[in-house]
Amino acid sequence: MRLHLFLWGLGIWIAATVGLRLAGQNMLHSGHPLRTVLLFVVSFAATAQLARGLCRRLRVPRDQWPAGAIALLLPTLLLDPFSSAFFPVVFPNIPADAAGLFGGWMLCCCAGALVGAVIHRQAPATA
């Protein structure tokens, strides 16, 4: 079951990397703090929902969601350090000074997915 999440993560990583290579210059603006904060907040929330949704869709038992989130994130955690280290080669369309912003963005995305996997919604209290 975790292999499915790893493969989902790999597919998402490939699609996102291709998307950034094609249009990343429109997303990463290191000189605009408000845009950066908005990107981080939206990405955190989106990846939290993505991790939860995929765990539900793939019928991962609730107690295994944290491990599932790790499997989902593994491609990003293993491959994006190389994307950051070789940023101008991997993303020639994005200014090189955005490499740190990219690394921070990936950390926010990973944090969101992990939080999404471990936060439990409380059932409504019944009287």
| Structure confidence by residue, pLDDT tens digits, 58-82 | 999 999 999 999 999 999 999 999 9
* 33-57 vs 2-23: helix crossing angle, rounded to 10: 150
Give the pLDDT confidence score for residue 31 in this predicted structure.
83
pLDDT for 121 beyond 60: yes
Give the pLDDT confidence score for residue 125 in this predicted structure.
57
Amino acid letter for position 88? P
Q: Hunting for tokens 């950066």 — which residue is that?
A: 36
- Structural domain boundaries of the chain? 2-9+40-118
Q: What is the mean pLDDT of the chain?
A: 92
Q: What string of DSSP letters covers 77-108?
A: HHHHHHHHHTHHHH-TTS-GGGHHHHHHHHHH
The pTM is what? 0.88
